[in-house]
A = this chain, B = another copy of it.
Amino acid sequence: MTDAPLIAILDDEPEIRRLLSAALEEAGFRTVGFARATEFEAALRRIQPDACLIDLGLPDRDGLALVHRLASESGAAIIIISGRAQVQDRVTGLELGADDYIIKPFEPAEVVARIRARLRRPQRDAGPGRQQVRFAGWSADFDRYTLTSPEGAETPISHAEAEVLRLFLDNPRRLISRAQMLETLGGTAGESFDRAMDVRISRLRTKLGEDPKNPRLIKTIYGAGYIFLAELG
């Protein structure tokens, strides 16, 4: 839980791996290096890095395909390191799901700073690990689909309710428009499906013990959307 973040390094040049892992460990990270994409992918079943530094132009695999797969399946931050400096390369790398794109030759200090910038944000971890979030005295468990009140009472929540709650927890204290919700929750636009949103929220509100006249956690902004007010922790 409070371990140092783990950074995976995928680069076929041993010299670069050494340089990077030295700088990162100096900065307080744990590192693990790989020379080939196949090794790296095999290891991903065992370890769960917080960020991946990936060198494009690997000998044994198309790096961009790997980036794409990682982006959709892993919650780790993905940072490309590449010697290809063309704007088009950078754009496609980022569009495929990379979080950053660093050009060789790079400065280790900048790599560290960019990794830190990525890890500052809450990770959306996709692993099967414990998915518990605490907020305003409550505790949500997305594995067991339960909600525990500040007093300790536990009530089950449905999948639909959990989806809404997760969206709120990912964007605390930010306005979330209806359109955003429909998009995130997979509802096809328009129709009377946004009615379903209202109902989901209404049900979630009751389970959170909200006062209908004066909701404290889920606030509705007329004509704009919703705001989830809670300190995470």
Q: CB within 8 Å of B: which residues of A? A: 1-3, 48, 75, 87-88, 90-91, 94-95, 97-100, 107, 109-110, 112-114, 116-117, 120-129, 143-145, 156, 158-160, 170-175, 177-180, 214, 216, 219, 221-225, 227, 229, 231-232
Contact = CB atoms under 8 A, between A and B. Distances in A.
Given A94-B116, A128-B231, 7 more contacts: A75-B174, A121-B123, A126-B172, A143-B229, A159-B222, A159-B224, A160-B222
B99 A173 contact: no
9 contacts: A75-B171, A87-B107, A87-B110, A94-B117, A97-B120, A125-B173, A128-B231, A144-B219, A159-B222
A3 B177 contact: yes
Given A3-B180, A179-B3, A227-B143, A174 B126 contact: yes
